[in-house]
């Protein structure tokens, strides 16, 4: 049972990585920021939900002054 759950998690994350790749989140021309890294990670974690219309985005907190 543990093996099946582990396999499902890996497949879920691979599907999420494919969605992030299709959206261009792994391109070299993308600047690295809290928002870009966060959007990429949230898209990967969302997995197959991306193909049901989800477009997860995050808002990074602004630095306190």
Task: Assess if residue 8 is contained within a domain.
Answer: yes
The CA-CA-CA angle for residues 25, 14, 58, to 5°, reads 45
pLDDT, residue 3, reads 92
Quote the tokens at residue 37: 């890294």
Task: Assess if residue 29 is contained within a domain.
Answer: yes
Task: Assess if residue 33 is contained within a domain.
Answer: yes
Task: Assess if residue 59 is contained within a domain.
Answer: no
Q: What is the pTM of this model?
A: 0.82
Using DSSP's 3-state secondary structure scheme, residue 56 falls into coil
Cα separation, 38 vs 44, whole angstroms: 10
Rg (CA), the chain: 14
Closest CA to 23 of 63, 62, 60, 57: 57
For the stretch 15-65, pLDDT in tens is 999 999 999 888 877 778 888 889 999 999 999 999 998 888 888 887 766
Please count the structural domains in the chain: 1
Task: Assess if residue 65 is contained within a domain.
Answer: no
Task: Assess if residue 60 is contained within a domain.
Answer: no
Domain that holds residue 30: 2-52
């Amino acid at each position: 049972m543990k093996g099946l759950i582990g396999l499902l998690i890996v497949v879920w994350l691979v599907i999420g990585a494919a969605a992030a790749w299709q959206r261009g989140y792994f391109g070299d021309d993308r600047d690295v920021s809290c928002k870009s890294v966060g959007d990429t990670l949230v898209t990967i974690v969302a997995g197959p939900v991306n193909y049901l219309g989800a477009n997860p985005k995050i808002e990074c907190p602004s630095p306190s002054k």
